[in-house]
Amino acid sequence: MFDMMGMMGKVKELQEKMQQAQSELQYLTATAESGGGLVKATANGQRRLLKLEIDESLLTPQDRDMLADLVVAAVNKVMEDVGEQAKQELKSKTSGLLPNLPGLDLGNFGL
């Protein structure tokens, strides 16, 4: 028989764990680079850019377009990397809290 009260308790526990895990994502960081390390971007698990480092050799007028492309590449890469780390962190914090129900989509939670 389906235990509705038990399921509601699990949902409440999942919500609490998700809130805790999401608040902890600010401490998860990743750094990615482009252009062989000429541009480096660091972001946190909340997908906020924390730091951008640009090698001085790129700060000439002739390299302006290349610099913009490298910045975009580094930021996109770090957002992808930290997004995957955040997804894994949320999965580990919430594993086992809900049964594997067909059709249950936790995509909005980053899972």
Q: Average pLDDT for consecutive 10-residue bins of the chain (111 residues)?
A: 72 79 83 91 84 86 81 88 84 68 55 48
Q: What angle do CA 63, 34, 54 make, to 5 degrees?
A: 55
Q: What is the pTM of this model?
A: 0.56
pLDDT at position 31, please?
92
- Residue 94, phi-psi category: left (phi > 0), alpha (psi -120 to 50), beta (remainder): alpha
In the chain, DSSP finds a helix count (H) and a strand count (E) of: 2, 3
Q: What is the pLDDT of residue 100?
A: 57
Please report the pLDDT score of residue 9 as a whole number: 77
Which pLDDT belongs to residue 106? 56
